[in-house]
Amino acid sequence: ASEARAATTSFDFEEIMAGVDEKHYVAKGYDADVLLRWGDKIFADSPEFDPMNQSAESQAKQFGYNNDYVGFIPLEGSSEHGILVVNHEYTNAELMFPNWATIGKDGEGKDKVNNGVFTKEIVDIEMAAHGGTVIEIKKTDGKWAPVLDSKYNRRITATTEMLISGPAAGHERLQTNADASGTKVFGTLNNCAGGVTPWGTYIMAEENFHGYFGGSLSEDHREAANYERLGAPAGWYSWAEHHERFDVSKEPNEANRFGWIVEVDPMDPTSMPVKRTALGRFKHEGCETIVNPVDNRVVSYSGDDERFDYTYKFVSNAKFNAEDRAANKDILDDGVLHVAKFNEDGTVDWMPMIFGEGPLTAQNGFESQADVLIETRRAADLLGATKMDRPEDVQPNLTKGTVYVMLTNNTRRKAGDENAANPRADNAFGHIIEITETGGDFASTKSTWEILLKCGDPKVAEVGASFHPSTTDNGWFGMPDNCAVDAEGRLWVSTDGNDKEKTGRTDGLWAVETEGELRGASKLFFRVPIGAEMCGPVFTPDDETLFLAVQHPGDDGLATFENPATRWPDFEDNLPTRPSVVVITKQGGGKIA
Ligand code: FEO
Ligand code: CA
Ligand code: CA
Ligand code: CA
């Protein structure tokens, strides 16, 4: 096996050992440096991080919590100077705030801290720690650093004013007491993964927005079934107690203004982010966009991260304009959203979601395209889309005409409910599907698919994992979540949910072969400290830098501010553990491979 590997492996790095401890590890010969930590300055005049004296005002000028998606936007085509965009998905109050005794999590995963009392001050800090960061960064003498006096730097939070555009903009179901126009909303929530568009904008995907809403609706309320399909209001946070708009009893349409794709122009820090309703409303894990080589239209892929939910792609009507950046400004407002049906014969139908077509009619409660988009999940249910094992990142690979779909896990799939694309009942470790878009046409409505990898421990026969036999005991993983494709078209997968009990290892970044006799072989490149999830991965265009996000380090389910499972990355007794972006470079320079 080692000879075969030497002959055809795409990856040269020396694999690291899987395991669980307080530190991070990267393959030999590479540096992993902490670039930005929760609380770090984003502006030259930001206050210093002072965890014992936090305020919403300070937090709004500092790096937010729980970095997830990371994107790199080159300045003038450079791989050594650009704008880093980072999502701040959510907050862990028990790890953020001092003197709060964690008494565990309830059945919904809600933090029950500080005897259940969240003051407005705390809630406002949480709101300022959400959203995203846009920050100029530069590599000097081989090391990256933020440029704090940059004109591009900006924080986006749960209170930043945004526009709503596309077919659902202005619809009465999006109107509220504060916004009779249905076109303006404050903030973006639970931005998990995201994307950078071919015209250099930053996409923030709104995922578990239902957790921020409280209150209740009567069963016969117009939005009751809509909200129930999304699990809203889940009341994971106490925001509704201090901000009425998060209480659906008081502001029943506010939750319709979340669950969208948000586009930000990082080149203009005064620009208003825009919620693009044409891409549908659901729990978007991310949104990765390419220019279709066949016709220059724009195609965006997005997974809906819930057990038994769906995989989507949006195809623009207009063509991408490479000569005039501004011409692409509203390209995501006009196009067709499709949902995937993975057939048993290895084909996939990308079914258009158009008002008036098929079941998407008044008979089924849809009066317009706006209704189809506001209730994307119900529309997809009616179309008979394939119920998946939690679609996370969906990543097109332009160099190969393929698309990778990360399906993280679904232990609620029962025996008898399997389908060809989700073949395992009690799927604890997830799998990866590879779609081949017909003829390299990413706008194709009829393509093919196969399973690239069934995850989990290959030594345990009942798990049914399908890693290539050359994969070592360090090389297998469970629970794929995000992924990146490097400049050579190679796949790198990051995970969410590996731990000592489930897999005997932390989360990390694995390099996965997709071609040739080693297809399905995997190698561990980087691993996170205990309690963390691995997010981010993105390469600079020259493949010489890799950015990774270490999310919720120290969170082992019992940890508190005072007693985290690790004090990564500072390892100082007076500092809490901090989610951080890590930058990987090769010692002495060169490509990451
Ligand atoms: Fe936020 Fe789908 O993970
Ligand atoms: Ca994720
Ligand atoms: Ca990705
Ligand atoms: Ca996840």
End-to-end CA distance of the chain: 20
Greatest Cα pair distance, the chain, in angstroms, is 68
User: How do residues 315-335 score in pLDDT, each as one tens digit?
Assistant: 999 999 999 999 999 999 999
Q: What distance in angstroms lies between residue 408's CA and the mean position of ligand 4's atoms?
A: 7
Q: What is the mean pLDDT of residues 80-86?
A: 99
Pairing of strands 161-165, 184-186: antiparallel
* pLDDT above 70 (res 130): yes
Secondary structure letter of residue 375 according to DSSP: T
The answer to whether residue 216 scores a pLDDT higher than 80 is yes
Ligand nearest to the CA of 535: 2
Tell me the CA–centroid distance for residue 494 and ligand 1, in Å: 12
- For residue 89, give the ligand 1 atom closest to its CA: 1
Residues less than 5 Å from ion ligand 4, measured at CB = 481, 496
How sure is the predictor about 98, in pLDDT bands with cuts at 50, 70 and 90? confident
Question: Rounded to the nearest whole angstrom, what is the distance from the C-alpha of residue 392 to the centroid of ligand 1?
Answer: 6
Note the pLDDT of residue 101.
54
Tell me, using a 6 A CB cutoff, whether residue 206 lines ligand 1.
Answer: no
Per-residue pLDDT at 9: 85
Q: How far apart are the C-alpha atoms of 302 and 285, rounded to whole Å? A: 7
Query: Which residues are bridge partners to 51 per DSSP?
Result: none
pLDDT (average), residues 130-136: 99
Angstrom CA distances, 462 to 104, 135, 281, 417, 468, stand at 32, 47, 37, 17, 17
How far, in Å, CA of 16 to CA of 23, rounded? 13
Is there an atom of ligand 1 within 6 Å of 392 CB? Answer: yes
- Measured from the alpha carbon of residue 497, the closest ligand is 4
Q: What is the pLDDT of residues 463-486, one digit of tens each?
A: 999 999 999 999 999 999 999 999
- Tokens 């909200």, residue? 227
Q: Tell me the per-residue pLDDT of 540-550, one tens digit each, with 9 for 90 and over.
A: 999 999 999 99
Read off the pLDDT band of 99 (50, 70, 90): confident
pLDDT at 100: 65
Architecture of domain 2-207+259-586: 6 Propeller (2.120)
The pLDDT tens digits for 506-535 are 999 999 999 999 999 999 999 999 999 999
- Per-residue model confidence as pLDDT tens digits over 15-29: 999 999 999 999 999
Whether ligand 1 lies within 6 angstroms of the CB of 393 is answered as: no
**Residue spans of beta strands (DSSP E) within 51-104:** 67-74, 81-88
* Atom from ligand 1 closest to the CA of residue 68: 1
Q: How far is the CA of 309 from the centre of ligand 4 (A)?
A: 14
Position 175, amino acid: Q
220: left (phi over 0), alpha (psi -120 to 50) or beta: alpha
- The mean pLDDT of the chain is 95
pLDDT of 113 above 60: no
The verdict on the CB of residue 549 being under 6 Å from ligand 1 is no
Q: Report which protein residue has its CA nearest ligand 1's atom 1.
A: 192
Q: Is the CB of 285 under 6 A from ligand 1?
A: yes
* Rounded distance from Cα 286 to ligand 3 centre (Å): 7
Using an 8 Å Cβ cutoff, are 167 and 228 in contact?
no
Identify the DSSP state of 278: G
Q: In the chain, what percentage of residues exceed pLDDT 70?
A: 96
Residue 119, pLDDT above cutoff 90: no
State the pLDDT at residue 546: 98
The Å distance, Cα 589 to ligand 1 centre, comes to 33
pLDDT reported for residue 574: 93
DSSP 14-50: PPPPP---SS-EE-TTEEEEEEEETT-BSSTTPPPP-
- Average pLDDT of the residues in 135-141: 98
The CB of 192 under 6 Å from ligand 1? The reply is yes
147 CA from centroid of ligand 4 (Å): 31
Average pLDDT value for residue range 192-197? 98
Q: How far is the CA of 404 from the centre of ligand 3 (A)?
A: 9
Residue 53 banded pLDDT, cuts 50, 70, 90? very high
* Residue 374 three-state SS: helix
Closest ligand 1 atom number to CA of residue 207: 1
| Non-local CB neighbours of 242 within 8 Å, separated by 6+ positions | 118, 120, 123, 124
Residues β-bridged to residue 81: 138
CA of 2 to the centre of ligand 1 (A): 36
Tokens of 210: 């239902």
- How far is it, in rounded angstroms, from Cα 227 to Cα 205? 19
Query: Which ligand number lies closest to the CA of residue 393?
Result: 3
Average pLDDT in the 546-557 region?
96
Cβ–ligand 1 contact at 306 (below 6 Å): no
In this structure, the chain runs to a length of 593
| pLDDT recorded at residue 560 | 87
Residue 103 has pLDDT above 90, yes or no: no
pLDDT at 458: 98
Strands 347-352 and 391-397 come out as: unpaired
In angstroms, the Cα distances linking 428 to 117, 198, 409, 449, 455 are 35, 35, 5, 22, 9
| ipTM of model | 0.95
What ligand 1 atom has the least distance to the C-alpha of 285?
2
Q: 240 CA to middle of ligand 3, Å?
A: 32
| Cα 325 to the center of its chain, rounded Å | 25
219 CA → ligand 4 middle, Å: 31
Which one of the ligands is nearest to 207 CA?
A: 1
89 lines ligand 1 (CB under 6 A): yes
Residues flanking ion ligand 2, Cβ below 5 Å: 192, 481
Q: Which atom of ligand 1 is nearest to the CA of 192?
A: 1
pLDDT of 5 reads 45
Q: What whole-number distance in Å separates Cα of residue 537 and Cα of residue 16?
A: 18
Helix (H/G/I), strand (E/B), else coil: 70: strand
Q: Tell me which of 106 and 157 has the higher pLDDT.
A: 157
Q: Give me the pLDDT at residue 102, please.
A: 45
pLDDT in tens, 394-444: 999 999 999 999 999 999 999 999 999 999 999 999 999 999 999 999 999
126 lines ligand 1 (CB under 6 A): no
